[in-house]
Structure 1
Amino acid sequence: MADEEHNEAAARSFLSCATEVARLMDLGNAADVPEARRARHLAHAVRKPLLQRANLPEEFFAPLMAAAVYDPDPSFCLWFVEPAVYAFGRHRVMTALLDYRQTGTDAEQAGAERAWYCAHIPLRADRSPAYAPGGRRDPAMDESREVRDEWRETLRRSAT
């Protein structure tokens, strides 16, 4: 597949993922926005509302991870990773990214590597209502040492 065709397929995949997250947020599909800009428009539209929620239903997890992995811009995949980390915990997010890295297509593996960096964001009680009223949360949600070790081992094995 030529690079241009590959990029178009990746853009369509990201658009599909961003559209699903927007649908879950009841934000519509931005049909009035040109298709070339629609995915980024939807990503921008969901960013703030996602962070403003103290909890996200389970049905959000897989679409958020897919959008983070398929987002072609490493500067913006944070828009999906960050709310997932706050709502579902760093451990679960990193485990999902590890799964993409181990079993995904080449494009998914590359996307998981881009999103992995974002999964290390510092968590702040003032950034999300996902924290308990006292500004704390269950530390087990964010324990990631084992997942980080497995990630490093996966990268090591793939390099040999």
Structure 2
Amino acid sequence: MAAAVYDPDPSFCRWFVEPALYVFGRRRVLTALLDYLRTGTTAERAGARRAWYCAHLPLRADRSPAYAPNGKRNTALDEADDVVDQWLESSSASDGQGQT
């Protein structure tokens, strides 16, 4: 996730985020980005925001057999509604402090 956060080009950070989504799951990726948002430097928080956008890509069966209709993948790896809620709360708090 560090590579995605530190890449200054928003269109290139996808190349780091997308494989992580397939390997580690959306929940773990979003949790790592939330940690950057909460504890990172100003540049890391900005990078986490860029990567957050890419972390919501739809996961496709043609990219990983685990996402095929008969694929075997623990659905908990991609359940992240609570992490999204935490992101929104933390993002609002950091915006209110004048941080970007």
2:47 to 111, 133, 136: 111
1:137 to 67, 73, 82: 73
Which of structures 1 and 2 has the larger relative contact order (alpha carbons within 8 angstroms, sep 6+)?
2
Question: Is the 2:7–2:13 contact (alpha carbons within 8 Å) kept by the matching residues of 1?
Answer: yes
1:96 to 21, 32, 37: 32
Please report the TM-score for the alignment, with normalisation by the length of structure 2.
0.89
Shift of 1:132: 6.6
Please report the TM-score for the alignment, with normalisation by the length of structure 1.
0.57
What number of residue pairs does the alignment pair up?
Answer: 95
List runs of 5+ in structure 1 lacking aligned partners: 1-64
Using the alignment, how far apart are the partners of 2:85 and 2:67 within structure 1?
Answer: 29
Secondary structure at 2:90 match in 1: helix
Residues 1:73 and 1:102: Cα distance change in structure 2 (over 3 Å): same
2:7 to 46, 71, 74: 71
Written as runs of structure 1 = structure 2, the 5 A alignment for 1:25-64 is none
Larger Rg: 1
Using the alignment, how far apart are the partners of 1:136 and 1:119 within structure 2?
Answer: 21
Let me know the Cα RMSD of the aligned residues.
Answer: 1.4
